[in-house]
Every structure is written in structure tokens, then in C-alpha cells.
Amino acid sequence: MSADFLVEIGTEELPPKALRSLMEAFAESLGGAVADARLEHGDVRAIASPRRLSVIIESLADGQADRKVAQKGPPVSVAFDDDGNPKPAAEAFAKKCGVAVAELGRTKTDKGEWLTYELAEPGRTAAELLPELVERALSELPIPRRMRWGDGDIEFVRPVHWVVMLHGDQVMDAEIMGVRTGNVSRGHRFLSDGDVTIESPGQYLEALEEPGYVIADFERRRELVASGVAKAASDAGGRIVDGELLYDEVTALVEWPVPVVGTFEDKFLDLPREVVISTLTGHQRYFPVEDENGELLPRFVTVANLESKDPEQVRDGNERVIRPRLADAAFFWETDRRNSLANREDALREVVYQRGLGSLHDKATRTAGIAKALADMLDSEDANVARAAMLAKCDLLTGMVGEFPDLQGLMGRYYAELDGEPPAVAQAIGEHYQPRFAGDDLPASTDGQVLSIADKLDTLAGVFTIGKKPSGNRDPFGLRRAALGIIRILVECELDVNLKALIDAAALAQPKGRIDAAEVAAELYSFITDRLRRYFLDRDASLRTETFDAVLAQAPASLVDFDNRLHAVQAFTALDAAESLAAANKRIENILKKAEVDDPGAVVEKRLTDAAEKALHSALDGAAAKVEPLLADRHYEAALTELAALKAPVDEFFDEVMVMADDETLRNNRLALLGAVRELFLQIADISRLSID
């Protein structure tokens, strides 16, 4: 027998940013627990609103299947006497299993023969198991800070007030989080009459909606929010400005979404667009509205949690809130500009960047040094980027960025432009935090790219120097993101520079810390190459990790070069010759290792005796001559295609020639020949790593 199962944890208002992940984690964890407990079931559905976390499990069995559990008794040798009569050991085992000795079975292995019995274990009922499973799932939720309330010891994300637990139409009687379970949920705080009786899991969502005034299904509520605000914006003569994050958060703040359009004064549209948007979206979670040309309108859409008896008052109230906030922003915009960014440079000395890493001024100075080194590598003009580096953190001292931290960089750009800084300086300042998140734009200007890399490298090298590199899931400085940002810019903007030299420069620029510069550089290089592997594998699903390893083994100094080689090796793996050449490389590596010859020297042509080795030698010479100019131009793919022609002579060599000849001269010459083959491949990548075995 099976029936749908529902559990609803009724709470005080849950944290909106975490709601979706809590909801999903609860369903996943409970679904997993139920499966582990051998309760058969159908789909598992996650549900959440500000005051509830719920899971519905369809067609959940009402109990575990019975099963037989093998019991192992004493060895037959000690269980019976010579006449075959049971001794006490056999009787005790039979008693434990609740049967007569005659009913016991025997199992024979190469270690001997034992008495055994298949004990029937009746399955436990779902009613017995579920309270425990629900508690366990709740205890596993990813709650950053659990809280207590009242005088209890129970800890959860917010105080728990009611728990509904139904299996079909049966209430499962239990205590969860200190609350007696039942079938009474609660509707909307203000729109409903309070209690809502749930007859069965299948009727849960409907009952909450009517009469409960709660749209409990997160996705459906999100759609209502999205379509509601879109319609409201269009009624107000515009459209909603893009911004995915706000939808989830607003959905997590309402049980009964009702869009409300508000207006603010035109004069605030003189502020930078991003400032207006941040003011609306930041604290207030209002949706900004623009016209069809993308120009902001003096309107916003907010989503109330209420069908108000007097919607005008809701609108009026929200308009009153945003006015002083916009006025504050206008105030900062006005007063910040009285002091140029350059004038703030000295004040950076007063702001601690990080313990052990000096002030923001120290950071800016180091960043400027790294940026200049990078600009020099690129043969790019370094005056603008050095100035931008010194000014890039100055906007952190402005009132606007103090109020809207998200606008860092962007405000620096606006203020630099108003200060009359060169456009390239302003642009580099504005771009230097990019990419700020996965999929974000990269800096468009070379100066912006250089500054962004220098800033991130300084952060990485600095934090590594004070011994705080990330461990496990903890990455408080966002170093993984910074490393990925560096990789993306170098590869995607094709900045062909020596990454190792750059890392060395960044490590040497740091103040003396717990870790010395050489170690920092080594750790940082491997930290970045770890991200690099992830980056390339994410970029191309068909890329094999062995292909990456083949290139990594040669540790190309430039990531652009790395990327070129990767493409070439990947194309090579599609060639017919690839597999056997990979195997041959592996074989050569093993032979050379085993032979323990440090340096077999150069191949001496006249010592070549067999036809196959002569053929290989001449093929190798021919290939080398063709490949060398290709390598100089980094035409790795063409080079590997040339090298693929070595397949036949290499195969033939191994078929015909005995490498480990008794004659030492002959042997060494052959080892030298194989070494030369391998060396040629290694100029591109370590092809032996592609070998299947």
C-alpha cells in the first residue's frame, strides 16, 4: 500500500535569500533518507513560502518490505559431536534464531563450514520511520546560523510553530522540533482566518491557496511575481529592467504577491542610472522600470504581500520610503564630487586593507607595480594603468560606495570622469573588479584587463603570504573567483604573457609574511592551474582530463599558449594514429626509465643497423625539419599532424628492433633514437598521458 506523504514545517518568517536552498535541501535530504530506509516512493516535491518548508513525496509505501537477514552461527566442527549430535553451541544459536536445530542451514566456504539461518526481519512501518527521517533531514539543512528561542534547546533557522504530517489522509502522530504534528496548517497572516485544515497531501496546495491565501509552490509564486510585475510595468508605460536575483528574493518574501506601482520625482533621474537602480533594488527590493529605449522611468514596481483594502496607502507608503533614500543618494553624488579621487589617495593610508598586508594605499601601490610589469610584458603603455591602480580604491572612501558597496568601481569611473582623468584611466577603474561573478563581462580595455589581473593577483599573493589560502568550502576572500577571473581574462582576451613571471612579481611585491615568496609563488601557480583545469573542462564538455594533463605536464608559461596546445592535442586525439602514438610515447618513457641511462647522447647515424631503425631515424629527421618552424609559430595542430606520420615507422621499429641489445653501443644508440622521438612530442605536450592504460 502506498499514499502521498506531506510534511510541512510551519515557522516564523524564513530568511529570503536562503529560502530556495533550504527548500531544495530539505526535499533532497528527506528523499534520500526515505530511499535509504527502503521506503518505496515516487516523485519528491519541494515547497516553500516565507512561513513554511514542505515536502510532498508521492506514492510513499506504508512500510519497508520484509526481508531475510542472514545470521551466522558457530562452525559445524564445534556445533556437533562426533556422532552428529548438537552441542550447546548449536542449541544456543537455534534458540537465538527461534527455531529447532534441525531447521538451521549450513554454509560452506574455503575457510570451513558454518551454521547459518535466514532470519525473517519484518519491515518497519512508515509511521514508525518518518518522524525520525524528517528530524534527520531537518538537522542536515544548510543553515549558516541556527537559533534558539523561548526557554527551549531546540535549534532551527527560525522558531517552529506547527508541523503538518500526513500520509494519505492519515495524520502521522509524532513530535518534530518540539511540536506535536497534526493536519492543521496556517494561512496568510492577515488575509486568511488563520488555521487551514489539510485533508490530504494532494489537496495541500489548493487548501493553502483557498481559503488560506498562500501560494505555497515556490515556482508558481515566482511566475506570478514575474508576470505580475511585468504587467504592472507595462501598464505604467515601460518594462522591468533586467535582474534575475530579485525575483527569487521577492518570491521568498511574499505568500500572496500583489504588484504595486510607485512613482518618484523626475529629478532623481539625473543620478547615474546604476545609482537609481541600486537604490531601488538594494534595500527595498523594488523593480526598476525603463522605457522601450532602455531609459529609466521615474517608476518602480514593488510586490506587496497583501491584497490591501486600500492599495493607495500601500503605494503611498512605499513612495515615502524611497524618496529619502534617493535624496541620500543625490546628497552623496553632490558631496562626493567636492573631493577628487586623487585627493583621496592619501586617505587610503588610513584604511587597513588586511592585517599583515598594510593599508589600501599599500595594496594600491603593489597593484600598480604588478600592473606596470604586466603592461611591459604586453608592450602596452603603462602610465595610465599605473595611475588607475592608485585611484582604483579611492571610491571606497566616498559616501556613495559606503552606502551602496555594489557600486564600487563604477562610482570610481564616474568620479574619475568628472575629475577630468584620462578616459582610459576612468575606464580601467570602472572595469577592474570585472568579472565580478560567473558569466560577468570581462574588462573591455587593455588597461582594464591589466588592472583587473594585477588587483586580483595582488589579493591572491597577499592572502597566500599571510597563510590564509582557502581550505575546504571556506573562501572568505573570494580567491577562487579571483583566480578564475585572471584565467578568463588571460585566455579570453588573449593576453599572451608569462603567468609564472607575473606570479613571481606579485609574490615578491608582498610584505614579509608567514609564507616566503618562493613558496607563495609555487602554491599560487598550482592554485591557478587547478582552477584552469576546471575552467577548460567546463568550457568544453568533450575535453578529457588526460588531455589537460598532457599539456599541463609541459607547464606552458602563457595561458594563451596553453590553450593553443590544448586545442591541438584535442584535435590530435581524433586522429587514427593518436592511440598508438600515445602508447608508443608511454612505452618509450618506460623503456628510458628502466634503462636508467641519464643521457644516451645524440643518435649516431652510422651505428644504426636494422632497416626499421634507419627508417625511423630518417622519418624523425624529416618530421623534425617540418615541425620546427611550425612550433616556432605555435602551429601545434599542424605540428602534431606531421608527427602523426611517425606512427608507421615507430610501430615498425617496435615490431622489428630489439632495443635492449646486448651491445651497449648499439643499445645506447637506440635509446637515443627513442629519446629523440619523445623529445619532439614533448615540445608540444606529454602525449604519453593520453594512453588508455
Partner 1 sequence: MTSDTARPRLTFQDLILTLQQFWAKQGCVILQPYDKEMGAGTFHPATFLRAVGPEPWSAAYVQPSRRPTDGRYGDNPFRLQHYYQYQVVIKPSPDDIQDLYLESLKAIGIDPTIHDIRFVEDNWESPTLGAWGIGWEVWLNGMEITQFTYFQQVGGLECRPVTGEITYGLERLAMYLQDVESIFDIVWADGPLGRITYRDVYHQNEVEQSKYNFEEADIDALFNAFDHREHDCERLIEAGLALPAYERMLEASHLFNLLDARQAVSVSERQRFILRVRTMARAVAEAYFASREELGFPMVESVKAAAGASS
Which residues of this protein are in contact with partner 1, per CB under 8 A?
12-17, 50, 145, 147-151, 158-159, 161, 189-191, 253-254, 284, 286, 302, 304-306, 308-310, 312-314, 316-318, 320-322, 324, 350-352
Burial class for 250, CB neighbours closer than 10 Å (0-12, 13-18, 19+)? buried
The 8 Å CB, 24+ separation contacts for 518-527 are: 520/461, 520/464, 520/465, 521/461, 523/464, 523/469, 524/460, 524/461, 524/464, 525/499, 525/500, 527/460, 527/464, 527/469, 527/479, 527/483
Cβ proximity to partner 1, 191 vs 269, nearer residue: 191
- Which run of H or E residues covers position 138? helix 126-139
Smallest distance, Å, CB 352 to partner 1? 5
Give one DSSP letter per residue of 240-258, joined into a string: EPP-HHHHHHHHTT-SS-E
For the bound state, the minimum distance from the C-beta of residue 255 to partner 1, rounded and expressed in Å, comes to: 10
The residues with which 263 forms a beta bridge, in sequence order, are 299
Nearer to partner 1 by Cβ, of 49 and 669: the residue is 49
Residue closer to partner 1 (CB basis): 221 or 372: 221
Nearer to partner 1, 304 or 684 (CB): 304
Residue whose grid cell is 610501430: 651
Strand partners, 47: 54
Q: How far is the CB of 153 from partner 1 (least distance, A)?
A: 8
Residues 6+ apart with CB under 8 A from 135: 176, 177
Nearer to partner 1, 12 or 274 (CB): 12
Cα 414 to chain centroid distance, Å, stands at 32
Instruction: Give the shortest CB-232-to-partner 1 separation in angstroms.
Output: 15
CB of 310 to partner 1, least distance (A): 5
Residue 259 vs 369, nearer CB to partner 1: 259
Q: Which is nearer to partner 1, 163 or 559 (CB)?
A: 163
Give me the least distance between CB of 286 and partner 1, in Å please: 8
Q: How far is the CB of 212 from partner 1 (least distance, A)?
A: 15
Q: Give the shortest CB-307-to-partner 1 separation in angstroms.
A: 9
Q: Where are the beta strands (DSSP E) in 438-574?
A: none
- Helix orientation angle between 16-36 and 218-235, rounded to the nearest 10 degrees: 150
The distance of closest approach from Cβ of residue 270 to partner 1 in the complex, given in angstroms and rounded to an integer, is 20
Judged by beta carbon, residue 400 or residue 515, the one nearer partner 1 is 400
Closest to partner 1 by CB, 236 or 682: 236
Give the nearer residue to partner 1 in terms of CB position, either 361 or 456: 361
Nearer to partner 1, 41 or 161 (CB): 161
Residue 73 beta carbon to partner 1: minimum distance, rounded to whole angstroms: 52
Closer of 319 and 651 to partner 1 (Cβ): 319
Distance CA 283, CA 506 (A): 38
Number of neighbours of residue 136 by Cβ within 10 angstroms: 15
CB 254, min distance to partner 1, A:
8
Q: Which CB sits closer to partner 1, 261 or 374?
A: 261
- Report whether 53 contacts 177 (CB < 8 A): no
Q: Taking Cα atoms as reference points, which of 646, 651, 643 lies closest to residue 684?
A: 643
What is the amino acid identity at position 400? M
Comparing C-alpha atoms, which of 281, 404, 387 is closest to residue 342?
387
What's the closest the beta carbon of residue 425 comes to partner 1, in angstroms?
26
C-alpha cell at 161: 510553530
- Contact status, residue 272 vs residue 279, Cβ threshold 8 Å: no
* Cα(520)–Cα(402) distance, integer angstroms: 33
Report in angstroms how near the CB of residue 346 gets to partner 1 at its nearest. 13
Sign of the Cα torsion 363, 368, 374, 378 reads positive
Report the residue number, 308 or 580, with the smaller CB distance to partner 1.
308
Helix axes 559-573, 479-492, angle to 10 degrees: 70
What's the CA gap between 441 and 489, in Å, rounded? 10
Whether 277 and 241 have beta carbons less than 8 Å apart is answered as yes
Query: How far, in Å, CA of 216 to CA of 51, rounded?
Result: 9
Which helix (H) or strand (E) segment holds residue 121: the answer is strand 112-121
Shortest Cβ 181–partner 1 spacing (Å): 17
Pairing of strands 160-167, 179-182: parallel
State which residue, 17 or 72, has the beta carbon closest to partner 1.
17
Work out whether strand 105-109 and strand 112-121 pair parallel, antiparallel, or are unpaired: antiparallel
CB of 239 to partner 1, least distance (A): 22
Backbone angles phi, psi at 76, to 5 degrees: -55, -35
Do the Cβ atoms of 407 and 275 come closer than 8 Å? yes
Extract the C-alpha cell encoding 669: 644508440
